[in-house]
Chain A
Amino acid sequence: MVSATYILDLFVGSFVLGSMYALLAIGMSIIYGILRLINFAHGAMLMVGAYFYIMFLAMGLDPITSLPLSMALGAVLGVAIDFFAYRPLRGGPELSMLITSLGVYIFLENLVRIIATPQPRVFPLPEFLKGVYRYGDFSVRVIEIFTIISTLVLFAALVLFFTKTKVGIAMRATADDLEASVLMGIDANRIIMIAFALASMVAALTGFLWGGMYGQVDPTTGFMPGVKAFIAAVVGGIGSLTGSVLGGYILGYAEIYSVGLLPPEYSGLRDGISFLILIIILLIRPYGLFGREVERV
């Protein structure tokens, strides 16, 4: 018989993992919405973001400065990748960009391997995020609370950005119809740049949260979260922000609860379960929960 506390533990764990998937999935969705590109390199941006944070700490900066700096540097890297890797391919077949994004992933992972060695590194969590709150049998870590709150704050900020600001609305318009948005005087390249900056910045933050949750990072850290975020985005309906968030949480809950409630010998199936959910949802709703059929020209 499982206790109520155990269920509550699983609930918090799911919420935390789901939040991180959702953050990554949003970034993938923003880029897909505008470029129709499934950016496989997005997972690597999480890993690189975590390394940026470690780098700034090593340079002697304090955590409060290092986090925003690592996010800013993540944004710059995202824009640079778009400029050098994707922009030259615009107007070409979508497949070329997809393959390039795989290439960018491999490049980033190995670049970090060369610069920072393949060894896992301890992720130094700032003092104020290290604590644990206990209520009887139930305990929750400060980093978990921080992850959940920062995710929710970020969602709220993104919703405001996409519905209330001119640039945010213009980004949605560009995702809806690129040709028409150009006719409105929108510089598509600038909008794409903002999309990469935004998505990469959020990925870098996710890297910090991921490192903080699991205590260490290595050059392959971004791979599985990237795959999961892709599944989350597809389950939710890639291109839809609400869908991505929902997809992230569905995945987080399914993974943690299946591992937590199934007998221990099945815990190795957690990644398989993610793919099973993907397959089932795509069989029922081929465009995801919130997706709609992509119009082809």
Chain B
Amino acid sequence: MALLDVKDLFVSYGPLVAVQGISFQVRKGQVVSLLGSNGAGKTTTLRAISGTITLVGGKVTGGSISFEGQEITKVSPHRRVRMGISLVPEGRKIFHRLTVYENLVVGGYTVKDLEDRLEFVYQLFPILKERRNQIAGSLSGGEQQMLAIARGLMSNPKLLLLDEPSLGLAPRVVDILYDAISKINEERTTVLVVEQHVKKALTHSHYIYVIQTGRIIASGEPEEVLSMDMVKAYLG
């Protein structure tokens, strides 16, 4: 059984239909990538899975999202975190006025073993331990992204959703992030990542879906997808 099963999902913002009947699955223990250009509906899909779509004026208008076999489209977003879904949003959305440590504490709002989780994320990103008392807004872009991922891991999620983790970052930082993503996956956290950075996604994923104007246009294992002519043309 798939950990996450999205079936025939439709999402709209008012009259605008952003996602038009997409279906895909994420198996337990995998890293799955959702690739596509700007405006393809990737972020909207992640927001629908995390439930935060309603906070930005959108709505799931059709289809279903199942997590561990349970239909979750009606579950409120904060409960989905307790169920084991954690989204690291586009643009990071760290708490700028809080310290690094406080950001992580809030990330672990739903868990009891805060110290264990802190140790885990500090091990993953040692720089955060060094900067734990610094105000998060004063971190560099790369450090903020590390903090956003670390914060998302504090709730000990079964499924980590990453929205464009490499956006606007230097190649060296992107390498660090993807190494971390591999490590997270080795710790048995399933990862669904949305990317425009095709190369990184291809080398780090078990399975790929390509999305265009709200529809899945191709899917398969990385080599398979890359060999498709239409995908080459679309992703460049």
Asked whether A184 and B106 contact (CB < 8 A) given A176-B98, A177-B95, the answer is: yes
How far in angstroms is the closest Cβ of chain B from A42? 23
How far in angstroms is the closest Cβ of chain A from B80? 8
Those of A149-195 within 8 Å (CB) of chain B: 166, 169-170, 172-173, 176-188
Which chain B residues lie closer than 8 Å to A183 at the CB level?
50, 52, 77, 81, 86-87, 89, 93, 152
How far in angstroms is the closest Cβ of chain B from A206? 26
Instruction: Output the nearest chain A residue to B97 by Cβ-Cβ distance.
Output: A176
Asked whether A187 and B78 contact (CB < 8 A) given A177-B93, A181-B106, A182-B52, the answer is: yes
Instruction: Output the nearest chain A residue to B155 by Cβ-Cβ distance.
Output: A185
How far is it, in angstroms, between the C-alpha of A166 and the C-alpha of B52 when the chains are bound?
22
B105 at interface, CB cutoff 8 A? yes
Which chain B residues lie closer than 8 Å to A181 at the CB level?
95, 106
User: 1/0 per residue B65-92: CB within 8 Å of A?
Assistant: 0000000000011110110001101000
Contact A173 B78 (CB under 8 A): no
How far is it, in angstroms, between the C-alpha of A154 and the C-alpha of B55 when the chains are bound?
35
B31 at interface, CB cutoff 8 A? no
Contact A184 B109 (CB under 8 A): yes
Contact A186 B106 (CB under 8 A): yes
Which chain A residues lie closer than 8 Å to B89 at the CB level?
179-180, 183
Which chain A residues lie closer than 8 Å to B93 at the CB level?
177, 179-180, 183
How far is it, in angstroms, between the C-alpha of A183 and the C-alpha of B103 when the chains are bound?
12
How far in angstroms is the closest Cβ of chain B from A182? 5
Contact A182 B95 (CB under 8 A): no
Contact A182 B77 (CB under 8 A): yes
Those of B110-135 within 8 Å (CB) of chain A: 110
How far in angstroms is the closest Cβ of chain B from A261? 38
Q: Contact partner of A186 among B97, B109, B151, B154, CB < 8 A?
A: B109
Contact A185 B55 (CB under 8 A): no
How far is it, in angstroms, between the C-alpha of A113 and the C-alpha of B191 when the chains are bound?
61
Which chain A residues lie closer than 8 Å to B103 at the CB level?
173
Contact B98 A184 (CB under 8 A): no
Instruction: Output the nearest chain A residue to B92 by Cβ-Cβ distance.
Output: A180
B48 at interface, CB cutoff 8 A? no
How far is it, in angstroms, between the C-alpha of A177 and the C-alpha of B79 when the chains are bound?
18
Contact B77 A170 (CB under 8 A): no
Contact A179 B95 (CB under 8 A): no
How far is it, in angstroms, between the C-alpha of A182 and the C-alpha of B54 when the chains are bound?
11
Asked whether A184 and B107 contact (CB < 8 A) given A172-B102, A173-B95, A176-B97, the answer is: yes
Instruction: Output the nearest chain B residue to A239 by Cβ-Cβ distance.
Output: B97
Contact A182 B55 (CB under 8 A): yes
Q: Contact partner of A172 among B98, B109, B110, B154, CB < 8 A?
A: B98
Q: Contact partner of B96 among A170, A176, A178, CB < 8 A?
A: A176
Contact A169 B102 (CB under 8 A): yes
Which chain A residues lie closer than 8 Å to B107 at the CB level?
184
Which chain A residues lie closer than 8 Å to B98 at the CB level?
169, 172-173, 176
How far is it, in angstroms, between the C-alpha of A22 and the C-alpha of B60 when the chains are bound?
45
Contact A172 B81 (CB under 8 A): no
B181 at interface, CB cutoff 8 A? no
Which of B52, B55, B82 is the most central at the interface, judged by chain A CB atoms within 10 Å of its CB? B55
- A-B pairs, 3 with minimum CB distance: A185-B81, A185-B110, A180-B93
Chosen A-B contacts, 13 in total, with CB atoms closer than 8 Å, are A166-B109, A170-B109, A172-B102, A173-B98, A176-B96, A180-B93, A181-B95, A181-B106, A182-B78, A183-B93, A183-B152, A184-B154, A185-B109
